[in-house]
């Protein structure tokens, strides 16, 4: 099936982990509806529609609502939502930061189905030392990376390559994995569908205060599990991300929200993602869902 690609109504640029913004002349981000069998095309340019031109998002649609909300962010912002299909609005792969702890914890639980203190701390508190400990428990960096990557492949992410080298010595290797919004959202939608995923999701539903922003506590949802990730680029400006699993009466929706605020602050990034939550709340009944 050829994926349907819709032109977003939002202009902006995507920030890489190096902290350098793309030029203001960067292409307008796309809104892409992707078939379940196809990898999320977060980093691909918009494709032409059947008539040869871009297909506009329908006015009043939830895609258009997200595009408008992203355009109002003071910075570079993007989002992907996944269920039976994946829709990506303005994204390229950027550092996963601590959102990578979700597939990491699942990899460890796949070997021994006990939620240890380190697994709990890595997810609930976003504790880096605990995450490093469970990473080391998987073997060499290459073995650990392969184990985490296997979790991604088994859960809808066919493209992401887990970073096993400390490309920035002061930060974890796995946290610098380049994880596109679409790939992450597709993965998140499948988290509830395995025993180890459900164990991690239970922890994501009870995160500590340092992660209670974005879609955490989303009005109208049966439950929401989140995992935040944040860190500075080379210029000191923060990239802020949130991986989320949203449960409604219709099923599960996976999401990844990403922002790099123009002022570079963590607080502004968290606030921007929290404002985007209103779009999720208003359009819960229309978002794509997945059933396990």
Average pLDDT over residues 227-253: 96
Q: Say what the pLDDT of residue 11 is.
A: 31
Does position 224 have pLDDT exceeding 80, yes or no?
yes
Render pLDDT for 180-218 as a digit per residue (tens, 0 to 9): 999 999 999 999 999 999 999 999 999 999 999 999 999
Stretch among 37-41, 73-77, 206-210 having the lowest mean pLDDT: 37-41
Q: Say what the pLDDT of residue 160 is.
A: 97
Q: Say what the pLDDT of residue 46 is.
A: 29
pLDDT-based confidence at 55, cuts 50/70/90?
A: very low
Sequential DSSP letters for the chain: -PPEEEE-S-----B-TT-PBPPTTSPPPEEEEE-TTSPP-TTSPPPP-TTSSPEEPPTTSHHHHHHHHHHTSSEEEEEEEESSSEEEES---EE-GGGGHHHHHHHHHHHS----HHHHIIIII--HHHHHHHHHTTSSHHHHHHHHHHHHHHTT--S-----S-SSTTS-TGGG-EE-HHHHHHHHHHGGGSHHHHHHHHHHTT--GGG--TTTT-TT-SEEEEEEEEEE-TTSPEEEEEEEEEEETTEEEEEEEEEEETT--HHHHHHHHHHHHHHHHHTTTTS--B--
Render pLDDT for 123-176 as a digit per residue (tens, 0 to 9): 999 999 999 999 999 999 999 999 999 999 999 999 999 999 999 999 999 999
What's the CA gap between 196 and 109, in Å, rounded? Answer: 6
């Amino acid at each position: 099936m050829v994926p349907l690609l819709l032109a977003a109504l939002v202009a902006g640029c995507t920030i890489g982990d190096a902290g350098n913004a793309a030029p203001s002349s960067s292409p307008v981000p796309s809104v892409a509806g992707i078939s379940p069998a196809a990898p999320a095309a977060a980093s691909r340019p918009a494709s032409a529609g059947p008539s040869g031109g871009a297909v506009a998002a329908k006015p009043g649609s939830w895609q258009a609502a997200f595009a408008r909300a992203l355009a109002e962010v003071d910075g570079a912002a993007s989002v992907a939502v996944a269920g039976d299909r994946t829709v990506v609005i303005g994204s390229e792969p950027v550092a996963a930061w601590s959102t990578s702890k979700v597939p990491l914890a699942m990899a460890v639980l796949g070997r021994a189905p006990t939620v240890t203190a380190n697994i709990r701390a890595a997810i609930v508190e976003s504790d880096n030392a605990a995450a490093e400990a469970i990473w080391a428990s998987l073997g060499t960096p290459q073995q650990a990376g392969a184990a985490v990557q296997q979790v991604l492949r088994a859960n809808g992410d066919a493209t992401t390559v887990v970073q096993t080298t400390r490309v920035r010595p002061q930060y974890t290797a796995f946290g610098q994995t380049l994880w596109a919004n679409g790939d992450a959202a597709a993965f998140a939608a499948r988290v509830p569908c395995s025993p180890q995923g459900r164990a991690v999701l239970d922890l994501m539903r009870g995160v500590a205060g340092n992660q209670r922003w974005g879609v955490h506590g989303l009005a109208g949802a049966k439950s929401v599990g989140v995992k935040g990730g944040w860190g500075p680029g080379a210029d000191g400006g923060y990239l802020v991300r949130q991986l989320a699993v949203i449960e409604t009466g219709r099923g599960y929706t996976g999401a990844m929200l990403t922002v790099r605020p123009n002022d570079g602050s963590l607080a502004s990034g968290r606030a921007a993602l929290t404002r985007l939550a209103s779009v999720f709340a208003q359009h819960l009944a229309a978002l794509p869902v997945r059933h396990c």
